[in-house]
Amino acid sequence: MKHINIVNGPQNVSAIIQGCMRMPDLTKEDAAKVIRTAYDCGINFYDHATCYGQDGAAESKFAEAFPLTGLKREDIYIQSKCGLCFDRNEFDWTKENILSSVDDSLRRLNIDYLDTLLLHRPDVLFDPEEVAEAFDTLEKAGKVRYFGVSNLVPMQTELLKKYVKQPLVINQVQLSLEQSQLIDQALYMNNKSTEFSINRDGNLLDYCRLNDITIQAWSPLQFGMFGGTFIDNPDFPELNKTLGELADREKASKAAIAIAWILRHPAKMQAIIGSMNPEHIKDVCAAADVNLSHHDWYALYLSAGKYLP
């Protein structure tokens, strides 16, 4: 497993993160297998959110399963996110909600601190001074070590940074070979003949690199917005052909090659996998040992329906 140091944040974290969004329906024994398999493959970072499952069910299941893994709290980094309140049909970054969400996550996870807390999707009504107060309170109480955001554009990040004292060390955003808009807009810039040129996020990738914010890529194997995986999907023949050729060459799975494509980018991103199948987790973790060349990276990108402008 490849490890990275998050600037101003947690050190020696695995380049691949185990996402827990799909954990609620597992038995506690199966959840323990997922946590332990990921750890044995070198993953030391687990991603949660208050909204994964009814009433935070993913966090509760993780806590039920954890004692069965033989691991200690200090062996791993635990991240959670707050602000998505589907039960109330709103996004909420008020101080009150941030504080109560963290307390709820800590209670459900049965731990006394989060390594990282991310604000999930932007609450367009957010007041940065309130967020700053909430972060100070959480930091002083020792409940959260590092802070970050998710799905946030650069200018709103700047607005937060004007008030928040703690460095914002992470931005968690969607990126896969099929959902590569984070990259497309720069390559196709100013090109009126294609939608790939549309700047949808205010140059988020370069902004994060310039500001030492580590990008965590969510849904790295999915097409569309949770459309399913493109791996072995007949709707993506060219992509699967290239993935298959590189998988044969590298003696790895196609899924590992798709994750390696994200890890090959010099921005030193983390990829958050969501599999709940231990065999898939082992397959995907081999990505950290795959060496894709500059040419391989472009071959994969182009086979996902792109062209050189």
Using CB under 6 A as the binding rule, the residues of this chain from 284 to 303 that contact ligand NAP are 284
Using CB under 6 A as the binding rule, the residues of this chain from 16 to 35 that contact ligand NAP are 19-22
218 makes contact with ligand NAP (CB under 6 A): yes
160 makes contact with ligand NAP (CB under 6 A): no
Does residue 195 sit in helix, strand or coil? Answer: helix
Strands 270-273 and 16-19: parallel
Choices 4-12, 193-201, 214-222, 262-270; region in contact with ligand NAP by CB under 6 A:
214-222
69 makes contact with ligand NAP (CB under 6 A): no
Tokens 């807009």 — which residue?
185
Which amino acid type is present at position 20?
A: C
> In whole angstroms, how far apart are CA 76 and each of 6, 161, 240, 299?
15, 28, 34, 35
270 makes contact with ligand NAP (CB under 6 A): no
Q: Give the helix ranges, DSSP H, for the chain.
A: 28-40, 57-65, 95-109, 128-140, 154-163, 181-187, 204-210, 237-250, 254-263, 278-285, 294-303
229 makes contact with ligand NAP (CB under 6 A): yes
Residue in 106, 255, 286, 288 binding ligand NAP, rule: CB under 6 A: 255
> In whole angstroms, how far apart are CA 53 and each of 79, 103, 196?
16, 17, 33
Residue in 151, 157, 166, 171 binding ligand NAP, rule: CB under 6 A: 151
Beta partners for residue 222, in sequence order: 229
Shortest distance, CB of residue 172 to ligand NAP, whole angstroms?
A: 4
Choices 4-12, 86-94, 198-206, 215-223; region in contact with ligand NAP by CB under 6 A:
215-223
CA 163, 166, 167, 170 torsion-angle sign: negative
Shortest distance, CB of residue 145 to ligand NAP, whole angstroms?
A: 19
Residue in 220, 260, 286, 287 binding ligand NAP, rule: CB under 6 A: 220
Which CB sits closer to ligand NAP, 264 or 280? 280
Shortest distance, CB of residue 118 to ligand NAP, whole angstroms?
A: 7
Rounded to an integer, what distance in angstroms lies between the CA atom of residue 196 and that of residue 166? 35
Contact positions vs ligand NAP (CB under 6 A): 19-22, 47, 150-151, 172, 218-222, 229, 231, 255, 272-277, 280, 283-284
